[in-house]
Amino acid sequence: MITGYIECGKIELARSFFDAMPDRNNVSYITMISAYSKYGSVESAKELYDQMAEKDLLLYNAMIACFAQNNRAKEALQLFDEMLNPNANVQPDKMTLASAISACSQLGDSKYGTWIETYMRELGIGMDDHLATSFIDLYAKCGNIDKAHELFNSLQKRDLVAYTAMILGYGINGRGKEAIELFEEMMDADIIPNLVTFTGILTAYNHVGLVKEGYRCFMSMQRHGLLPSQDHYAIVVDLLGRAGRLEEAHELIKKIPMQPHAGVWGALLLACSLHNNVELAEVAWKNCCELEPDSSGYHSLLANIYASAGRWDDAKRLRRAVEEKGLVKIPGSSWTECFESQQ
């Protein structure tokens, strides 16, 4: 009954049914927690998790997965650590490890990831395709593309998620040719790409600067019945923008059927700074500010553009405005950091 409601997305109905159940057991809790996880309601999931006094393996797994799937990697690893404490009286299994590796990958923590690989052997847990896929993602994000590829070759069966992880891995490592070849191999195998796959392949086109092909790929999304997300638009804006095709990038943004998010305009702003286009930069900057008024990055970017155009007064004015408003600088992160620490 609960699962029926969950399948059609009626999560509140599922919850009221859950609340009315006289004989709620771990299974019902786990089902409900997973449902909240799927719809991004991490707090509601945590609330249910906290209600259980005795945490068993599956309950831990459901909650760790929930954190990992909703970009709360730190909390996922925190809970994983808690579970490793002998007092917890549980031992992780492959489900736990898959989520933990995913969390390491999100944090770019290859050290912890490698430790998990060793620990896995200690526990006598063998590598399966799910685990291998999370390791592919981890190693690729940490720049160890050879190790990622080795794991990809070892898969028993290459499915959509595995292909997607590897394509994205090649994409972010600038190995466009390999990414494109793999994408074609996937299509030949009649595996239908999803939105994530397109993020990967578009990233690859972007890295090798294949504008025409990348744009064509983006346009092909509709044929697969996929509606490009803001992220996809942002990648294509970046692709066109880096190639200096700023007007086309601007036109594309104007055609987005929804309100573009700041990242889309940010990609245009970045392109304007690469190609010293002050007028368009101002347009992009204005939109960025409206959508994300608290971020200082856009101001600094425009200030740099003013400076390189010799408009020192404008640059100074903007930099002063940042200081006066006390805007926070969001520190950038880099995947290469964890690669370097691995060397």
Compose the 99-138 pattern: x for residues touching DNA by CB under 7 A, - for all others.
x-xx--xx---------------------xxxx-xx--x-
Which of 34, 2, 25 shows the shortest CA–CA distance to 15? 2
- Cα distance between residue 85 and residue 91, in whole Å: 9
- Least distance to DNA from the beta carbon of 308, Å? 19
Record the tokens describing residue 158, joined without a space: 């290459």
Nearer to DNA, 34 or 144 (CB): 34
| Interaction of residue 300 with DNA, rule CB under 7 A | no
Q: How far apart are CA 97 and CA 103, in angstroms?
A: 10
Residue 144 near DNA by CB under 7 A: no
Name residue 239's amino acid: L
Binding to DNA (CB under 7 A): which residues in 65-104?
65, 68-69, 93-99, 101-102
Q: Tell me if 55 contacts DNA by CB under 7 A.
A: no
Q: Is residue 311 part of the contact set for DNA (CB under 7 A)?
A: no
What would the two tokens of residue 6 be? Answer: 């969950």
Residue span binding DNA (CB under 7 A) among the ranges 63-71, 210-218, 219-227, 283-291: 63-71
Question: Which of residues 90 and 318 has its CB atom nearest to DNA in the complex?
Answer: 90
For residues 132 and 152, give the distance between their C-alpha atoms in angstroms, rounded to a whole number: 7
Among 2, 168, 211, 288, binds DNA (CB under 7 A): 168
Site string for DNA, 224-263 (x = CB under 7 A): -----x-x--xx--x------------------------x
Q: What angle do CA 236, 241, 244 make, to 5 degrees?
A: 140
| CA dist., res. 215 & res. 174, Å (int) | 17
Nearer to DNA, 177 or 320 (CB): 177
- Given a contact cutoff of 8 angstroms between Cβ atoms, the answer to whether 195 and 232 are in contact is yes
CB 313 to DNA: min, Å: 28
Instruction: Output the smallest distance, CB 20 to DNA, in A.
Output: 19
Q: Which is nearer to DNA, 148 or 318 (CB)?
A: 148
Compute the distance between CA of residue 38 and CA of residue 46 in angstroms, rounded to an integer. Answer: 13
Please identify, using beta-carbon distances, which residue of 141 and 319 lies nearer to DNA: 141
By CB under 7 A, residue 27 contacts DNA: yes
**Could you tell me how many residues of this chain bind DNA (CB under 7 A)?**
58
- 96: CB partners within 8 A, 6+ apart: 57, 60, 61, 64, 80, 83
Separation of alpha carbons 310 and 20, rounded Å: 69
Instruction: Give the Cα-Cα-Cα angle 264, 267, 270 (nearest 5 degrees).
Output: 150
Are 142 and 130 in contact by the 8 Å Cβ rule? The answer is no
The contact pattern for DNA, residues 176-195, with x = CB under 7 A and - = no contact, is ------------------xx
How many CB atoms lie under 10 A from the CB of residue 316? 13
Q: Please report how close the Cβ of residue 237 comes to DNA at its closest, in angstroms.
A: 8
Radius of gyration of the chain (CA): 23
**13 counts as binding DNA under rule CB under 7 A:** no
Residue 107 — φ and ψ, nearest 5°?
A: -90, -5
Asked whether position 289 contacts DNA by CB under 7 A, the answer is no
Q: Which stretch binds DNA (CB under 7 A): 179-187, 199-207, 299-307, 320-328?
A: 199-207
Smallest gap from residue 167 Cβ to DNA (A): 9
In angstroms, what CA-CA distances link 7 with 10, 13, 29, 39, 223?
Answer: 8, 11, 16, 11, 27
Q: What are the residues binding DNA (CB under 7 A)?
A: 26-27, 30-31, 34, 37, 57-58, 61-62, 65, 68-69, 93-99, 101-102, 105-106, 128-131, 133-134, 137, 141, 159-162, 164-165, 168, 171-172, 194-197, 199, 203, 206-207, 229, 231, 234-235, 238, 263-264, 266-267
